[in-house]
Structure 1
Amino acid sequence: MLINPVKERMQAGEAALGLSVRLARSPDIARIAKATGHDFLFIDVQHSIFNLETIIGIAHTALAIGVAPVVRVRSVDDPDVSLLLDNGVSGIVFPDVNSAEEARRAVGRCRFPPIGGRSVSGGYPQFDYRSMPIAEAVPALDRATLVVCMIETAQGLAALEEIAAVPGVDVIHVGANDLLVSLGKPGRFDDPAVTEAMDRAIAAAEKHGIHAGCGGNRDVARQAAAIRRGVRFVTTQTDIGFLTAAASQWTTGLRKALAEPGT
């Protein structure tokens, strides 16, 4: 049986935490994610340059240690979606989903018939390349595959409820950064518009038996507040953000210590 740790945690009513990957190219980032309490990797192909072999190398390590490798692709029409899923990726995040029709296109790339149009392959790494009857492999892969639709524009926000109602969507994910820019309020993460968008996503997700997500909001208190309200899919911070924050804290502390008398 395939188990997606993100789906498992969300279905248990808990928040799944993801490490956004923009800098790392080594599969060891999966081990760091696990060691730091993350449930999934959010490999960001929309904003960073990755080749396919690098993504799959990371994905295979993540699969082996119980961390879900999730990829944010470039759009609902990204041609690499099925290729990524066939080779070990556990979920796809689609940015800028602005309508139910776009959500259906996203689902179509990820789900097998009759819901979608994903092509059947063989020798899936999810099964360690064991020979599996198609009648068993297809439903198992469908159950374990995560489909995330991001709401990042005023247009997408207007269609949020319709997008959440599309069969095959697992998460309706509010991208706070881009959404605020779209609304003419860049960087105003405490603006009521963000809270309202999250509450609408939570309500729509509950209505349709799926989950709400929160991204782009890089603040522990705000993330905790969103989780308490019902968000279950959260990206904590990027690898770049974690590295620069820790490095800056260290050098600042060291220079402060050296400036103190008697040190």
Structure 2
Amino acid sequence: MLGKLPQLLRENRVALGAWVTIANPEVVEMLSLNGFDWLLFDMEHAPLDYQVLEYMLMAVRGDATPLVRVPFNDPVYVKRVLDLGVAGILFPLINSAEDAKLAVKSTRYPPKGIRGVGPRRAAGYGLERDEYFRRADEVLVIVQIETQEAVRNAEEILSVEGVNAFFIGPNDLSFSYGRSSWKEEPVRQAIEMLADISKSTGVPGGMYCADDETLRFALNLGFKLLALGSDYRFLMAGTRDRLRRAQALLRETGAV
């Protein structure tokens, strides 16, 4: 289930994705049918558990790449999620090179890492076992930079072998600096510095872009892994827009 994201990252191309937070396979199916390059299942903040995740992964259509943000950097949790067949892991709160090394080791089988062997669904329930083990090291490791400490250590973090990309959580990073938005200093400056480190290390960067201003900012910095929003945001925005237009039409026609 690698999908198109690994190739897009290798080719240094922009990859557009969406956050999945609603525990419903139909939501996953609709998002993947709309052409996103990747979908991220959020197990850190959303009410998604392990069993629900398995059903939701079955609903991914086309070549959208399924990623999971785990709740914490824990080898056991990572192992269980990878056994379901996801293509990559987003690790939250990576603050040091040691954190990043543990993340990478958690996704690799011995002797390169510490992942236990028992892939189950990931290996086609045994039908694709050899092929899966041959490509197991292609699992994407994406580290989240979301604290001042992580920014200070970013060059060392991104120099860890096996880290494929990093992702900025603008809200957490802003709060880490005592600010409420990435638009404020010194948060904006920190993000620009991370963009420079991305270029110097060759590790693609990403950012959550809930609006066009944030998306333009991220694109201008050269970030490639861009989330356009989440399922519930899309639902709320579409609902509000349709209701506003209907209410305007009621006023226009005098039907109010």
- Fold match (TM-score > 0.5): yes
Aligned to 1:201: 194
Deviations 1:55-108 (A, max 9, x none): 11222332x522111111111126321111012111111111111111111111
Aligned to 1:223: 215
Distance of 2:99 and 2:87 partners within structure 1: 21
Distance of 2:236 and 2:212 partners within structure 1: 17
Aligned to 2:235: 243
Report how far residue 42 of structure 1 moved: 1.2
Distance of 1:92 and 1:18 partners within structure 2: 14
Match status 1:142 vs 2:142: no
Deviations 1:146-183 (A, max 9, x none): 11111111111111111111111111111111000110
Aligned to 2:16: 17
Deviations 1:11-59 (A, max 9, x none): 2221111111112x22223332233331111111111121212111222
CA contact (8 A) 2:92 2:144 kept: yes
Q: Which moved more, 1:99-108 or 1:191-200?
A: 191-200
Distance of 2:59 and 2:126 partners within structure 1: 15
Distance of 1:18 and 1:253 partners within structure 2: 28
- Of residues 51, 54, 57 in structure 2, which corresponds to 1:53? 51
Match status 1:119 vs 2:113: no
AA paired with 2:29?
Answer: R
SS of match in other structure, 1:57: helix
Match status 1:175 vs 2:169: yes
What TM-score do the two structures reach when normalised by structure 1?
0.88
| Structure 1 pair 248–141 and aligned structure 2 pair: CA distance change class (3 A) | same
User: Where do 5+ consecutive residues of structure 1 fail to align?
Assistant: none
AA paired with 1:15?
Answer: V
Report how far residue 115 of structure 1 moved: 3.4
| Structure 1 pair 159–51 and aligned structure 2 pair: CA distance change class (3 A) | same
Q: How many residues align?
A: 255
Within a 5 Å distance, the mapping from 1:73-112 to structure 2 comes to 73-77=70-74, 79-112=76-109
Aligned to 1:70: 67
| Structure 1 pair 245–122 and aligned structure 2 pair: CA distance change class (3 A) | closer
Distance of 2:106 and 2:224 partners within structure 1: 24
User: Where do 5+ consecutive residues of structure 2 fail to align?
Assistant: none
AA paired with 2:24?
Answer: S
Distance of 1:249 and 1:224 partners within structure 2: 22
Aligned to 1:211: 204
CA contact (8 A) 2:148 2:177 kept: yes
Distance of 2:128 and 2:233 partners within structure 1: 41
| Structure 1 pair 84–184 and aligned structure 2 pair: CA distance change class (3 A) | same
SS of match in other structure, 1:260: helix
Distance of 1:254 and 1:237 partners within structure 2: 24
SS of match in other structure, 2:186: helix
CA contact (8 A) 2:42 2:68 kept: yes
Distance of 1:258 and 1:204 partners within structure 2: 53
Q: Percent identical across equivalent pairs?
A: 27
| Structure 1 pair 129–210 and aligned structure 2 pair: CA distance change class (3 A) | farther
SS of match in other structure, 1:234: strand
Aligned to 1:252: 244
AA paired with 2:241?
Answer: Q
What TM-score do the two structures reach when normalised by structure 2?
0.90
CA contact (8 A) 1:82 1:110 kept: yes
Report how far residue 202 of structure 1 moved: 2.9
CA contact (8 A) 1:115 1:168 kept: no
